[in-house]
Amino acid sequence: MPDFKDFAEEYAAAWSTQDIDAILSFFTKDCVYEDMALGAVNTGKQQLGAFLRATFAAIPDFRIELKAILSSGDRAASEWIMSGTQTGAFPGIPATGKRFSVRGASMMELYQGKIRRNADYWSLATLLQQVGVLPDSPAVP
């Protein structure tokens, strides 16, 4: 892959415009996409597309802001902030109408210029606190 920075920026832009076809174009046909916080494993573009549709239906102003990008050979990683307003049921909780902003990271395995395997790591507890489902964490003395 010639320049992973451009690839990562275009990928994040597709997420931020909720362009499902564009997002799917970054993946191999037999991709595996894991959302570790949600315990979701999506195998293949059809399952990943369904996951994306559910995500964007619940969070229509979903955004990804890249903070760091790393790559070496067929491995890549990015740190990001995802944000949006939870206007639909997600993840399995009723809509709250509240905004969230959560830091996370993606670990990727690349194959022939596409993402073969992706694992996203972020804090579900932080998202649930920000949308008002969980109480805030007590301050640590």
Nearest to 42 by CA among 59, 58, 27, 57: 27
Report how far apart, in Å, the C-alpha atoms of 84 and of each of 20, 110, 138 are: 17, 28, 24
pLDDT in tens, 62-102: 999 999 999 999 999 999 999 999 999 887 788 999 999 99
Helices (H), 59-123: none
- Domain 4-128 fold is Nuclear Transport Factor 2; Chain: A, (3.10.450)
Q: Which amino acid would we find at residue 89?
A: A
pLDDT of amino acid 1: 46
pLDDT in tens, 14-39: 999 999 999 999 999 999 999 999 99
